A and B are shown apart, each in its own frame.
Chain A
Amino acid sequence: MNPSETVQSGDLSLAVYTWGTPAPGKPNVVLVHGYPDAASVWTRTAEILAERYYVIAYDVRGAGRSDVPDHTKAFELEHLVEDLAQVVEATSPDQPVHLVCHDWGSIQSWEAVTTDRMAGRIASYTSISGPSIDHAAYWIMSRLRSGSTQEMATVARQLSHSWYIGAFQLPLFGPAIWKLGMDKLWPSILSKVEGVQAEASPTQTKDGSIGVNLYRANFVQRLLKPQERRTDLPVQVIVAKRDRFMLPEVLDDLPQWVPNLWQREIDAGHWVQISHPERVAAMASEFIDFVAGGAETTALRRARRRGVRKPMTGKLVVVTGGGAGIGRETLLAFAEQGAAVVAADIDLAAAERSAELARLLDVEAYARQVDVGSTEQVEAFAQWVESELGAPDVVVNNAGIGLSGKMLDTSVADWDKLLRVNLWSVILGSKLFAQQMVDAGKRGHIVNVASAAAFSPNKALPAYSTTKAAVLMLSDCLRGELAEKHIRVVSVCPGFVDTGITTATRFVGVSADEQDKRRAQAKKAYGRRNLKPDAVARAILDAVTNDKPEVLVGAEAHVLRFVSRFLPALSRRMARLDLAK
């Protein structure tokens, strides 16, 4: 890659590369690379961005084809900001630029957006895998001061990811390893450890060994004497979920410094612009267009960060049967963790109420009327979710109805309805949403709500138990299938939970009066058991957070599972008892 021009900064000349042509009204985008890279790390991303913008990248001092300063102090942040200012001055004299920066490029650009030198010259900032050192220092201090062992453990974990920063302070060590062969090995290290295919760079030895000075000139100084760094500029932070060098927790306090903040995730390692150039370009464009006066897309709106970041912030959770009982509690449990939620329910008013409650927890919430027994409606709903909100991160197939009565008393119509609502809906919901997750490359969760009845045969619940057993088996098979796509399937088997389903259950083969009596009995018995829907909601949240394949809720669920596995004769005996009496 040959530079299109060189820009003078002090006594150094910097190699600048451009894609596309500048035009009035066309945003100018500047890409800043990290360590141990050069501007070439952006090639693919720049080509995509150049379809719509004028794109500029440059080799940071010491790297690529730019000049190498002769002393360590010349790598201090103020000089790096000066370089960026000179490049912007030369390439975009008439309009402020949109910055997209990675790793060290991002660290130094935090300095540029929070200090005065480039005031008015930057329109927006997209930061990938590189926090402000000052912010990080405050983050560490506040956690150490909190006295909480958990917070301190997070700091220790981040420091263990930053081991190389310490190593680079040692004399000789950093430059030596690059000169002793790491430069040649680098592409294969990237491919083995990070899984990204990068071309060998002709300047790799220099990029690696000279760049060590970036760490030496800045880290210790800034960590020990941080200053408050704030900016009102719109900032988009892209978190690489599997970044080996940075924990997302480091960004927890960011809203305190950056009021206009958006935070998004890519399921990738540290070098996202090599592994996912399309995603990086798409996210950058979405943000640039928005800042340039376009609409805030749904995805961006969800990524908006105000106040404390919660574990599920930025996630989208869909719950069927979200208007009541376990569904509503699950919806609220995820909302409380910061997730945007969609309540689907046959009763629109109930779904809207759930959404309204979720909004009280400061999240985006949507309500849709869906009869999960109708294929057309479920398909239309899934379509709506994908086109309006994007593929969900968690889908909870929860909607279900109760039916009690002997097999010989259960009509074909009753069977048909129960199979549609309790089983077919789960089949469809799992299939459609899993496909969306696969298409979007999301490592999501499909949660299917079965029941302890799935493994507890009883003559009073033949139809209901059959549908739930099928849901359990379906989930087990699907889990196997989706494992390689990293999509997790969770099956949930609650015991006797006190929800509206007890008073809505149909009892076939009995008179209306008898049905009312049995409903009242069931309500009373379940009320006495006092297992609340929020216990199931907490179990689901825990299963999703901690990647558990199956959760049983309530002591009775564990006992029944034990009996079905180890005491099958007893299980068959119990099937003869009439549970509904």
Chain B
Amino acid sequence: MPAPALTFTAADLDGFREVQRLAYRCAETIAAEMEPGMTEREVAARMKDFLMSEGADDCFHQPFAWFGDRTAFRGFIGFKHLAGFNPAFYPSNRRLERNMPFILDCAPTRNGHTADIGYCGVVGENRALDRLMDDLMEYRFLIVDLVRQRQSLAEVSQAVDRLCLKHGYEPRHKAYPFEVLAHRVEKLQDDGRPQHLSLARFGVRNVTELLKDRVRGAREGWSPLWNSKAGSDHAPTPGLWAVEPHLGFRGVGAKWEELLVITEDDAFWLDDDVPQVRRWKERGLWPADTARKAA
């Protein structure tokens, strides 16, 4: 059964890129406002307000914020019951302290285009977090390189697992529902309404698309949930994937999340102008020859 071809136009990709930039602008703006004493709930609510005021009309999920060892999904948040649907993921009353790592994760939809991003930081300093964020660069190259080589998505995910093992990190994205490294994102109809229904903090329209993909994928031999298991043992499926490697070291977790565009014979990150790439460039980690590669 043939996998779907990439149906998005250049204009569509521009729309997705715009909303991904909005999502990262949201994370950066709120992160700059964060102060010790704020709770995860307060920060998540600020992110939601920001996105609404910038014209977001729906979401894949409402904003998440994790502080301290919750970034590494330690404790109750790490339990994997119900295939990983764990209410402890939802923003809690944990208060931010100095030098405590945090992760912000939001997935707004605007005019039918959805992004899903992850952003981490700290008020103060945290050497373990810095190291994790530096090392996260290798994963960004690894994933896109292996997809370009047309390795199966399960093999790519297993390669990520092996890199975690080499680095001495836990692959904490295994705590996400269905242990996903990535999930698919589809374009929604732009119906002009200012707001759409969310259930249990997940956008109904986006989750419905995911379910439709699941049914269609079962028929065609692919899965919209990309993990290390047999269900992902298929060639890279053209389309948009929100990829989210999430690393944990003792009580500190870090991640980024970006949209990966997979075409019939190529793959590329939707946007290189994202905070983590800018950070790697600032720190002199970004390899010199990638300009050619990315082009």
Contacts and interface: CB of A to CB of B under 8 A. Distances in A.
A357 B166 CA distance: 12
B128 interface: yes
* Chain A, interface residues (CB within 8 Å), range: 10 to 19
A336 B250 contact: yes
B277 to A, nearest CB: 23
B59 to A, nearest CB: 34
B165 A357 contact: no
A302 interface: no
B194 interface: no
A324 B168 CA distance: 8
Nearest to B252: A360
A332 B250 contact: yes
A218 B73 CA distance: 51
A353 B167 contact: yes
B249 A360 contact: yes
Nearest to A354: B168
B250 A353 contact: no
A350 B162 CA distance: 13
A69 B189 CA distance: 96
A93 interface: no
B219 interface: no
Contacts of B250: 332, 336, 361
Interface in B91-129: 127-128
- Which of the listed residues B166, B167, B168 has the most CB atoms from chain A within 10 Å of its own CB? B168
Contacts of B165: 324, 500
Interface string A325-361: 0001000100010000000000000100110110011
B166 A353 contact: yes
A249 to B, nearest CB: 24
Nearest to A359: B127
* Chain B, interface residues (CB within 8 Å), range: under 10
B131 interface: yes
- Which of the listed residues A324, A350, A360 has the most CB atoms from chain B within 10 Å of its own CB? A360
Interface string A349-379: 0100110110011000000000000000000
A354 B131 CA distance: 13
Contact of B127 (A324, A336, A354, A360): A360
Contacts of A354: 168
Contacts of B128: 360-361
Contacts of B168: 328, 332, 353-354, 357
Interface SS of chain B: helix, strand, loop or mixed?
helix
Contacts, number: 20
Contacts of A357: 168, 249
B52 to A, nearest CB: 39
A161 to B, nearest CB: 34
Nearest to B129: A360
Contacts of A360: 127-128, 131, 249
B142 to A, nearest CB: 17
A403 to B, nearest CB: 22
Contacts of B127: 360
A193 B8 CA distance: 85
A479 B165 CA distance: 34
B132 to A, nearest CB: 9
A569 B117 CA distance: 60
Contacts of B131: 356, 360
Interface string A295-333: 000000000000000000000000000001000100010
A332 B169 CA distance: 12
Contacts of A336: 250
A500 B164 CA distance: 13
Nearest to B168: A357
Interface string B159-183: 0000001111000000000000000
- Which of the listed residues A332, A353, A356, A357 has the most CB atoms from chain B within 10 Å of its own CB? A357
A70 B209 CA distance: 93
B161 to A, nearest CB: 10
Nearest to A358: B168
A336 B69 CA distance: 15
Interface in B269-284: none
A285 to B, nearest CB: 34
Nearest to A331: B168
B119 to A, nearest CB: 21
Contacts of A324: 165
Contacts of B167: 353
A360 B127 CA distance: 6
Contacts of A328: 168
A332 B168 CA distance: 10
Contacts of B249: 357, 360
Nearest to A362: B127
Contacts of A500: 165
A18 to B, nearest CB: 49
A250 B97 CA distance: 27
Interface string B247-263: 00110000000000000
A360 B247 CA distance: 15
Contacts of A356: 131
Interface in B133-186: 165-168
A308 to B, nearest CB: 14
A226 B165 CA distance: 51
Nearest to A336: B250
Nearest to B128: A360
B118 to A, nearest CB: 21
A197 to B, nearest CB: 48
A354 B127 CA distance: 15
Contacts of A332: 168, 250
B136 to A, nearest CB: 15
A343 to B, nearest CB: 11
Nearest to A534: B170
Nearest to A349: B166
Nearest to B131: A360
Given A353-B167, A353-B168, 6 more contacts: A324-B165, A328-B168, A350-B166, A353-B166, A354-B168, A500-B165
**Ranked 7 nearest A-B pairs via Cβ:** A360-B128, A357-B168, A360-B127, A360-B131, A328-B168, A353-B168, A336-B250
Interface of A: 324, 328, 332, 336, 350, 353-354, 356-357, 360-361, 500
20 contacts: A324-B165, A328-B168, A332-B168, A332-B250, A336-B250, A350-B166, A353-B166, A353-B167, A353-B168, A354-B168, A356-B131, A357-B168, A357-B249, A360-B127, A360-B128, A360-B131, A360-B249, A361-B128, A361-B250, A500-B165
